[in-house]
Amino acid sequence: MSIKLHDVWAMPQAAITEARLLLTLGADPSCLYEDEYGQKVLLDRINNGSVCPKCASKFEEFLKYAGVIYEEMCEQTPINIVRGRKCSSGVLPLCLDGGGMRGLVSVVCLLFASKRIMGDESLVNYFDWLIGTSTGSMLALSTANGRTLSECFYLYWNMKRQIFLEGSTMSRNYSFTRPFGAALDEEQDVLFKDAARASSAAPTYFEPFAYQDRKFVDGSFVANYPLNILFKECDSFSKHNNRIKLAGVVSIGTGEPAQSERKYKSGTTLKAKAKNMAHVTTLILEQVVGQDLTAVEMAEERCHAHNIPFIRISPKGINVRIDQIDDGKLMDMIWTTLLWLVDNVHEVDKLAELLFKLLSNPDDRKPRSNTIL
């Protein structure tokens, strides 16, 4: 993969997207720094016109940060735990937010954390429960079905144009009149494809999914965060005298916008009304994918009240629509995610500390040099 990065960098028609993609999946960029190869090739491409000034700045930024990103992600000493061990002090859940194509943010966060903490892509195997809504359910089901995180990345990347089609409308009606059943539904054997379809029937994109005598819409449309589902499930068990002990709670988001500049005034002209209506539409979609952080704050407070470790990783500065399919804009989003992870690597290391505490042998829990702990 590193050799391919070397070759891609010199290709006259190669965009920055290809280089960023390879780095994200673990390509070693050191070849670009040997004898200033990367800088020399970039100058040649700028001079011959194969790289425009706007793109040149992205290539230069890549050279500036690629080495740091790779070092923080792939060149750390893995934590010392018994491989394959499960937590014995309680249930360890992994909650994966919804967010359409922003699910790539979650995949990249897990890839970065897994390679930094474990030295490979095995991180998700150490969680007892995988809880996801909408795009998070697809990621949870994919990993539970044995796909690696890299495979999940390609799954998202390759399927975007098959899922998010142009011209989607809100022309369908939905029924929410069915009452909820008992606190604990009877256990059912449900196919992975049916579970994924039921949790990802996002309004404006898909028809409600019918399973047996029930209709399902996007999981994040009626339950903004899988954290809510986690605690509802725990409460349901408690009501039936089968209390679940949580050893910790790990929540992976799909990113949060840096700031909002939307206005919700109606306006006086037709043009102004239409513009502000677009802001309201965006607000509704953000509620669908859960950018209101109240649920996260409540979950964190609940965990702290019960002395349950709570870890949340969700990069800031992600302002991409859930139905974005443009490769360049998606890769800009992924690049923003990588830079945030490098700047906030201590958040990832909190997860490493929790896993080390829960999964290591007591005799191994001593301070060690040259590790992330």
Q: Which residues are annotated as catalytic?
A: 134, 218
Q: Name the token pair of 277.
A: 């209506």
Q: Name the token pair of 125.
A: 């195997």
